[in-house]
Every structure is written in structure tokens, then in C-alpha cells.
Amino acid sequence: MNGLPIDLALAWESLPALFDGLKVTAILTALPLLLGLALAFPICFARMSDRRWLALLAEAFVTFFRGAPLLILLYLVYYGLGQIEALREGPFWILFGSPFGCAIVALSLNHAAYMVEVLRGGLLAVPHGIVEASEALGITRRNIFIWVKMPLAIRYGLKAYQNEVVSFIKGTAIVSVVTITDLTAVANSIFEQTYDPFTPILCAAAFYWAFVNIIRLGFGLWGRWLNRHNAEDVAADAGVPGRGAALRRTSDLGQVTP
Amino acid sequence: MTMHAPAPDAAKEPGRLAITISGLVKHYGSHRALNGIDLEVRRGERIVICGPSGSGKSTLIRCINALERHDGGSIVVNGIELTADEGTVQDIRQEVGMVFQHFNLFPHLTAIENCMLAPQLNRGLTKARAEKLAMHYLERVHLADHARKYPSRLSGGQQQRVAIARALCMEPRILLFDEPTSALDPEMVNEVLGVMEELAASGVTMLCVTHEMGFARRVADRCVFMDHGEIVESRDAASFFQAPESQRLRDFLAQILR
């Protein structure tokens, strides 16, 4: 032992494998984020629908998939669905037959359930008067949604979305229990080969940290750009406030004035 | 009892009527907000509606562009009868502009973008043409210099003038004002009233809910006094103030002109 808990030589040697693990983690983040978001929109509309049965159905979805621990959900999809013979012989077995497919399904359902509430919160925060003003201008409901409600809902919901994405990324670590070699699984296997618990696990933690913070930085820039209308010194006489000018601002992150 | 001055020649020349309201009833639950309103508005007529809070004056003008759906009676706007049909509602909203107490500008769009949105979406104007149109009306409300500012950078009076320009950009033949100066600091009231007076001189039909009695005297062709969901008195501005018939109006004027 050299006094450090980290074996630098081992850390260096492990880098390529950890990078491979990070790639898997990144894919297991990106795909469910996209699929979950796509799924969240129709479920959110159903949840906010005036038709009671539809709203209840959507609420049941949200309650179930938000309530079920991700690990249990993953076990159910991976081990449980394989028990259904019809599914084993059906065309969807390509998806449910692979651990990767199962992980994507479980993660997407979990993310969708959370995103329904994030979206709904953002949409409910849009001031009613602004929607009325759009209606009074004769803008159609569809256009009001696309051009007024959604742009504002994104601004109101951005912080909640960022939190969900960050905790989601860390949550993907559980896929190692269904034999997927993501970042955590790679670190774990190095530990099992070397009996050094610190080096691989701390390296993996550093990778997660970097990954999460790059995402956070991205959200920060996005938020500042979206909220450029609140930036204090947007110089109106300089013409259209440029993206650059807005990005230079360090304050006012994430604020929206209704 | 409802008393209203007959609109001269209206019956003989229906084409000169901008709005015909008869027997209008609106309930909120068991509360009868509008109790059989009859009102005829000629093209180019400028009407000020006043009355104590809760008298139904806002509800009345909000029924005209279907922001509130009426429960009984009929509303005909420029020859189109207002029904529950979405297409009819859209048609009427194209003819009727509205200015709200709380401005309700789109916070994420600049002043000029606020004005451009509806013409682009509803009338399919190109960006360049919409911009030209928006600039024309921003000039008319004396805000050309502030076109590229976001609402949060504008004073209340400026925001309300942008809201007026935004309504004008749809080139409506009828303008509804719902207490347009009530949310303004006193020093900003006159800049908004000034713009409204200029508009009144342009020949557009105006229905204005306001307590600005000076404005009513200078601009209104007719003043309507409402109480408890009914039109109590409706007559030309001069006799409205000098010779109010009903006790209720006399009491109201005594309070407001104190």
C-alpha cells in the first residue's frame, strides 16, 4: 500500500474497460430518456383529460410505475415476462429475450411515469390568462399548445426535468443485476478480479460524476438560453438579444416570470 | 328592469350592427351572473360599460368572444351567431380583439414576436410580412423603439400597449377592453388611455369595461351601467353623467366621482 486508497496503475489499466461501461450506461440513459419522454406525452394528455376513465387509467399507470422500485420492475420484466409462453413465441421476444431490451423497457416505463408528472406540473403552471389571451387571438388549441403552452411548460419544468434525468442516470446502475456490463458492472468485475474495492469503484464514481455534471452543465446552458427573456441586461437596443449575450449571464438561472 | 336606449336606425339597417345580444344568460353554478342582457352595438360605436364589482360587466364582454360560454339567449357578431361550434367560435374570434386587465403577454416572446404570433399562425403570414405588420401597430402604440424587448423589461403601461398592438395585428373590427387600466400604476394610466382614444378616433367598434369616467366622457358614444347581471341604464355619455335616471346609477356615480 502506498497510503492512497487508489492504485494508480490499476486505474490507468482499467480506463478502457470503464469507458466501454460508460458507453453502455450512456446508451441505457439516452434511449429510455427518449422513449420515456415520447411515452409521457400521450399519458400526460390522458392524465389531464376531461374523460374520467382515461385520466384514471393514466393515473394508475403513473402510480404503479412510480411506486414500483426500479429493481423490482426490472426483475418483473426480465424474469417475469419470460414465463409467458405466448410472449416467448411471439415477435416481441427479440426485445424481451435480451437483458438489454428488458432494461430499456423497464427504464423507459419508469422514466415515463416520472415525466408525466414533470410535464403535467409544467403545463399546469402556465398562467390561465396567457392561454385565454391566445384563445382570444383566435389561435387554435393545437397551436396554443405548440407555441404557447409547451414553450412555457418547458421553462417551468426544466429544473424538475434536470433532477429526474440526474437521478435517472445514477439509477441505471441497477441493470448490472440482469447481466448487462454497464459502468457499475465493469467496476464490479475489476473488483472481483483484483480484490481492490477502492480503485475501480472510485473510478466508476468519478465517471458517473463527470457524466452527470456534463448533463447538468448542458441543462444550465439550455435553461439560461430559454430564460434569456429574464436576463437582467439583455440590451434591447442591440437588436435581437443574442444567444451569446444571454449565455454570458451567470445569474437568473431557471427563473421564469409568468 | 332593463332599459336601454334604442340604437337609432339599427332595426332598419341590420348591416350596421356589429354585435346583437339578446336575452343573454350566464350562470356560475347557481349564481346568475348575467340575467337577460339585451344590447345592440352599431359599427364604429364606442361603448363604455361600468358597474360595481360582480355586476357581470366582464362576464358580458367575455361571452362575446366565447371566453365564457353563455347558457341562454343569443349573441350575433358581424352577422355570425355564436354557437358551441369550434369553427364558429374561431370565426368570431378573428373579428374580435381583446385587451385584458393583466396584459397576458407571452413572457417568452419579445414585444414584436408577441404581435407576430397570431398573424403567422392564423393567417399564414410569412415572418417578414408579420414583422412588418407588427411594426406598423407597435408604431401606432408608440412602442417601435421597444419592439425587441421582452415583456419583463417593459413597464405596465408599455406592456398594455403591446397587448393592444397584439390585438390590432389581427385587424379585428371589434375591440373588447376588460378593465385595461385597472392593474396599472396611476402614472401609466394616461399613456394607455391615450392610445385607446386614438383608436376610438379610427372608427373601430369598441366595448370597454372601465371605471375611467374621464375616458368615458371624452370617448364613449354610449355608457352602459350594469348591476346584478342586468343592464340598468344605457344612454349617451352626456346624459349618463348629467341626468342618470335610476337611483342605483346615481349612487354608483356619486361613489366613483367623489
CATH value at residue A36: 1.10.3720.10
Give the nearest partner residue to B107 out of A132, A229, A234, using CB atoms.
A229
Say how far residue A5 (Cα) sits from the centre of its chain: 33
Domain membership of residue B61 as a residue range = 14-104+172-256
**A126, A137, A152, best to mutate vs chain B, most B CBs in 10 Å:** A137
The pLDDT confidence band at residue B13, using thresholds 50, 70 and 90, is low
The pLDDT confidence band at residue B6, using thresholds 50, 70 and 90, is very low
Query: Quick check: A243 pLDDT over 80?
Result: no
Q: Is residue A123 part of a domain?
A: yes
CB A73 within 8 A of CB A105: no
Q: Is residue A63 part of a domain?
A: yes
Query: Quick check: B22 pLDDT over 50?
Result: yes
CB pairs A-B closer than 8 Å: 86
Give the nearest partner residue to B170 out of A137, A226, A241, using CB atoms.
A137
Task: Please give the tally of structural domains in chain A.
Answer: 1
Query: Quick check: B102 pLDDT over 50?
Result: yes
Task: Please give the tally of structural domains in chain B.
Answer: 1
The tens digit of pLDDT for each residue in B161-194 reads 999 999 999 999 999 999 999 999 988 999 999 9
What pLDDT, on the 0 to 100 scale, is given for residue A2?
Answer: 56
Query: B124, exposed or middle or buried, with CB in 10 Å at 0-12, 13-18, 19+?
Result: exposed
Domain membership of residue A164 as a residue range = 17-196
* Bridge partners, residue B47, by sequence: B207, B222
CB B24 within 8 A of CB B75: yes
| B232 vs B11, more confident | B232
Give the nearest partner residue to B104 out of A130, A139, A143, using CB atoms.
A130
Q: Is residue B36 part of a domain?
A: yes
The pLDDT confidence band at residue A216, using thresholds 50, 70 and 90, is very high
| CB contact (8 A) between residue B108 and residue A155 | yes
The tens digit of pLDDT for each residue in B60-88 reads 999 999 999 999 999 999 999 999 999 99
From the CA of A241, how many Å to the nearest CA of chain B? Answer: 8
Q: Is residue B191 part of a domain?
A: yes
What pLDDT, on the 0 to 100 scale, is given for residue B14?
Answer: 55
The tens digit of pLDDT for each residue in A52-98 reads 999 999 999 999 999 999 999 999 999 888 888 888 888 888 888 88
* Bridge partners, residue B224, by sequence: B49, B234
Q: Is residue B113 part of a domain?
A: no
The tens digit of pLDDT for each residue in A127-159 reads 999 999 999 999 999 999 999 999 999 999 999
CATH value at residue B202: 3.40.50.300
∠ CA A57-A168-A175, rounded to 5°: 95
Report the share of chain A in percent with pLDDT over 90. Answer: 71
Q: Is residue A180 part of a domain?
A: yes
Residues of A with Cβ-Cβ distance to B109 under 8 angstroms? 229
| CB contact (8 A) between residue B110 and residue A229 | yes
Q: Mean pLDDT in chain A? A: 87
| CB contact (8 A) between residue B118 and residue A137 | yes
From the CA of B175, how many Å to the nearest CA of chain A? Answer: 11
A121 touches chain B (CB under 8 A): no
From the CA of B12, how many Å to the nearest CA of chain A? Answer: 31
Residues of B with Cβ-Cβ distance to A137 under 8 angstroms? 93, 97, 117-118, 122, 166-167, 170
The tens digit of pLDDT for each residue in B113-137 reads 999 999 999 999 999 999 999 999 9
Q: Is residue B143 part of a domain?
A: no
Q: Is residue A27 part of a domain?
A: yes
Give the nearest partner residue to B67 out of A135, A140, A228, using CB atoms.
A135
Please tell me the least confidently modeled range out of A53-57, A243-247, B100-104, B147-151: A243-247
Q: Is residue B9 part of a domain?
A: no
